[in-house]
Chains A and B, each alone.
Chain A
Amino acid sequence: MGLEEQLPSGFLLTTVEAVHGYAAKSSLWPVTFGLACCAIEMMATGAGRYDLARFGMEVFRPSPRQADLMIVAGRVSQKMAPILRQVYDQMPNPKWVISMGVCASSGGMFNNYAVVQGVDHIVPVDIYLPGCPPRPEMLMDAIIKLHNQIQHTKMGADLVKENDEREQLALTAEPLIEMKGLLR
């Protein structure tokens, strides 16, 4: 990755970015992270009727080091949280997270001490998917929305700059645990 790290930005890189984005989005490899009933719908999405293979992502990798997408499917208990974070840390960059179902996204109806109130307390989430559980079409819709995001991912110096900006925003953002009202 020599050239694009030296150049600030330009028409050459936009084309490279488009090709890279197309390649990245067409071969997502999800890590197996089914935690509850949402995992049943996730399996159904991978099976013949809905067939995730059409999006180039039928192999659910049991090992995180060969995966670049984590579909957190189900409620994350406090005891599972460090394991989830470890699996996320073991995935190589670039990587993405879909928070599937209301329990993973915000704790859902399990507003209690045993369940993490949203997996975004632990890992950065790219797409939140409501539903309890979401039907396979909803998961595919989330995946297509993620594909759009990946298609427009930047590269090289631009990516570093974007990541710095995002980190600054995240550092000054209000902590999730202090949010009030419906954002709790």
Chain B
Amino acid sequence: MAELPQAVRGFSTTFFTMFRKVNTEQYPEDKDKYPPKPAFHGRHQLNRHPDGLEKCVGCELCAWACPADAIYVEGADNEEGERHSPGERYGVVYQINYLRCILCGLCIEACPTRALTMTNEYELADNSREKLIYEKDDLLAPLMPGMAEAPHAMVAGTTAKDYYEGKVTGATPAQLEEVAAREAAKAAAQAASDAAALEQVADVDALGVAVAGAKSKYAANAKEEALAARATDAGKGGEQ
């Protein structure tokens, strides 16, 4: 019976382990308790100046630095009345393919305006390749208080240099007004087109077109739309 003390000693380890602190992280329930380190490289973000203009100048240095060829940028000139960033140029197309991106951070090191940074967001899994190409809309930083949605004019009397030196601290009333006027015009145009569409439907009814006929027409429209959507999906990213 010399084994008994040894067995007791062995099982006592098992027994006392039951009272030790549990090591497991309850991921989906308590994920806020275990945030990634602040330096963690997660999803990218395209930052804005304090007045809401974009910081990206469309220089494509991020795309050049990318070892996996995951970034696609197209720059364009800022037009008067359609200004997205201070200075000459802005990024009109900005796509990151998260199925190529290895989250290494070379792009954010390459960015000369600090327009591109990385967040701590990591829940990116999805069920198709198309959905994992993030467009500019998905990457742009949300509007903070005091910001006005680009495009709008620069703060009166400033240059691009003032923006980079941090002299602009928020949107001026003139900028806010410009954006509000644009939004109102857009809403009015939308309402007008909705009314026109309703009128068209009314016309069709007035002509006494059979419901079945109208239905097949709408079905054909829907089919065309679906085909067009597929075509744009397939051409996403353009020729590189």
Contacts and interface: CB of A to CB of B under 8 A. Distances in A.
Interface of A: 48-51, 54, 102, 105-109, 111, 118, 120, 126-132, 134-138, 140-142, 144-145, 149, 174, 179-184
A109 B67 contact: yes
9 contacts: A49-B23, A102-B99, A111-B69, A131-B122, A135-B122, A137-B36, A140-B27, A180-B238, A181-B238
Contacts of B25: 49-50
Given A102-B68, A138-B125, A141-B123, 18 more contacts: A102-B102, A106-B129, A108-B100, A111-B69, A128-B125, A128-B127, A129-B125, A132-B101, A136-B27, A137-B122, A138-B122, A141-B28, A141-B122, A181-B237, A181-B238, A182-B95, A182-B100, A182-B133
Given A182-B133, A182-B236, A144 B100 contact: no
Contact of A132 (B72, B103, B235, B236): B103
The B interface, classified by DSSP as helix, strand, loop or mixed, is: loop
Nearest to A181: B237
Between B26, B130, B132, B236, the greatest number of chain A beta carbons within 10 A of the residue's beta carbon is seen for B132
Interface in B120-150: 122-130, 132-133
A102 B125 CA distance: 11
B236 A138 contact: no
Given A138-B123, A138-B125, A130 B98 contact: yes
B125 to A, nearest CB: 4
B97 interface: yes
A181 B68 contact: no
A135 B124 CA distance: 11
Given A137-B31, A182-B97, A130 B124 contact: yes
Nearest to B22: A48
Interface residues of B, number: 41
Given A127-B125, A145-B125, A135 B237 contact: no
Contact of A128 (B129, B234, B235): B129
Contacts of B70: 182
A181 B239 contact: yes
B240 interface: yes
B100 A127 contact: no
Contacts of A127: 125-127
Interface string B136-175: 0000000000000000000000000000000000000000
A128 B132 contact: yes
Nearest to B27: A140
Given A109-B68, A182-B237, A49 B24 contact: yes
A126 B122 contact: no
Contacts of B235: 180-181
Contacts of B100: 102, 106-109, 182
B4 to A, nearest CB: 30
Lowest 10 A-B CB distances belong to which pairs?
A: A181-B237, A182-B237, A132-B102, A142-B125, A109-B68, A106-B99, A130-B98, A182-B97, A105-B99, A129-B125
